[in-house]
Amino acid sequence: MSLSLEAVRAAADRIHGRAVRTPLLESRTLSALTGGKVFVKPEVLQRTGSFKYRGAMSRMTLLTAEERRRGVIAFSSGNHAQGVAAAARDLGTTAVIVMPIDAPRLKLENTRALGAEVVLYDRYKEDRAVIGRKLAEERKLTLVPPYDDQNIMAGQGTIGLEIAADIAALGETLDVTIMPLGGGGLASGIATAISALSPRTKIYGVEPQAFDDTKRSIAAGERVSNAPDAKSICDALQVQMPGELTFPINRRLLSDVLTVSDDEVLAAMATAFRELKLVTEPGGAVALAALLSQKLDVKGKTVAVVLSGGNVDAEMFIRALKTAD
């Protein structure tokens, strides 16, 4: 079952007044650096500091009264964790979050501060989905997955609705959209909205080099996994393989998948801070990294770049600033 524009619009209605309608910011600096006309969609300004609140709220507004009474469970490296925890608090329910023991401290602390119970696991030895489903069954909790859910994907797609509307209001024609790509919920949602509203727009996902599962899966014609010992500073994009629901959509709608190195990501984080005055986390900066490292020629084109999250530990952020010196 494919995601529809109507489903994305329904999600927009459900989260209206709860999620922030983030602005679309034109950057003359990025335009001068790339030769294009560059607009930035700063989901770092979203509730909980990332786009994940949109999808979590889109799904959780559909909980029945009994499901709200029992509570929800999710597994996440941090951004979905915070989105679910915040949505649970806003909707008057409880949340249990399965998080990797090496998740950024800021994400762990913020998730607990939002009232969620955190269950830690070793991402290199244990399977978070298995742990999450076991706890869901034992405690009769509703599972809110990070991306492989139609209502989660539709919620993330509301970003695409906003980009298309704001570009049209400016009298511009959108040539290119670039966004981060992990499990594929953000990409599939945005691609669904943009392809329907602006069919001529080229849509690109960006992965870390060590987690290029969607790129390799598209080439193979089927979902393939990342190496179990793969590592990247982009903790938000570390998934085992593309989502079962997201992959067919992304395979059909994405023009291509680009990859970036950790060093390119660090440089993009520094540029976002110095030129845009925005704080980004590594996974949230990969689309900007692809643009700045010229993985795509955008000369003379109108481009929208999604900065998907800004939940970064101080140590990592300092590393990014020092790397760019």
Q: Do residues 116 and 200 share a domain?
A: no
Please check whether residues 87 and 189 belong to one and the same domain: no
Measured over the CA atoms of residue 107, residue 205, residue 147 and residue 18, the dihedral's sign is positive
* Residue 157 shares a structural domain with residue 20: yes
* 98 & 11 share domain: no
In order, the DSSP letters of 113-178 are: HTT-EEEEE-TTTS-HHHHHHHHHHHHTPEE--SSSSHHHHHHHHHHHHHHHHHHHHTT----EEE
Task: Please tell me whether residues 44 and 65 are part of one structural domain.
Answer: no
Together in a domain, 83 and 137: yes
| 179 bridge partner residues | 205
Tell whether 261 and 120 lie within a shared domain: no
Q: Are residues 180 and 317 in the same domain?
A: yes
What are the tokens at 122?
Answer: 């070793």
Number of domains in the chain: 2
pLDDT of residue 1: 57
- 275 shares its domain with 190: yes
265 CB-near residues (< 8 Å, 6+ apart): 208, 233, 234, 282, 285, 286, 289
CB of 178 within 8 A of CB of 303? yes
Per-residue pLDDT of the chain (325 residues; tens, 9 = 90+): 589 999 999 999 999 999 999 999 999 999 999 999 999 999 999 999 999 999 999 999 999 999 999 999 999 888 999 999 999 999 999 999 999 998 888 899 999 999 999 999 998 888 888 999 999 999 999 999 999 999 999 999 999 999 999 999 999 999 999 999 999 999 999 999 999 999 999 999 999 999 999 999 999 999 999 999 999 999 999 999 999 999 999 999 999 999 999 999 999 999 999 999 999 999 999 999 999 999 999 999 999 999 999 999 999 999 999 986 6
Q: Which of 120, 143, 166 is the C-terminal boundary of a domain?
A: 143
Domain boundary among 143, 161, 177: 143
Q: Give the domain extent around 282.
A: 5-50+149-323
Q: What is the pLDDT of residue 87?
A: 98
Catalytic (active-site) positions: 52, 308
pLDDT on residue 91: 97
Question: Is the alpha carbon torsion for 188, 190, 191, 195 positive or negative?
Answer: positive
Task: Please count the residues of the chain.
Answer: 325
Please report, for the domain that includes residue 117, its CATH number.
3.40.50.1100
Q: What is the pLDDT of residue 113?
A: 96
Q: Hey, what amino acid is at 52?
A: K
Are residue 174 and residue 290 in the same domain, yes or no? Answer: yes
Give the C-alpha separation, 189 to 147, whole Å.
10
pLDDT score recorded for residue 104: 87
Query: Do 153 and 139 share a domain, yes or no?
Result: no
Compute the distance between CA of residue 136 and CA of residue 310 in angstroms, rounded to an integer: 29
Strand ranges inside the chain, DSSP E = 25-27, 37-42, 72-75, 95-100, 117-121, 142-143, 176-180, 202-208, 256-260, 302-307
125 and 272 within one domain: no
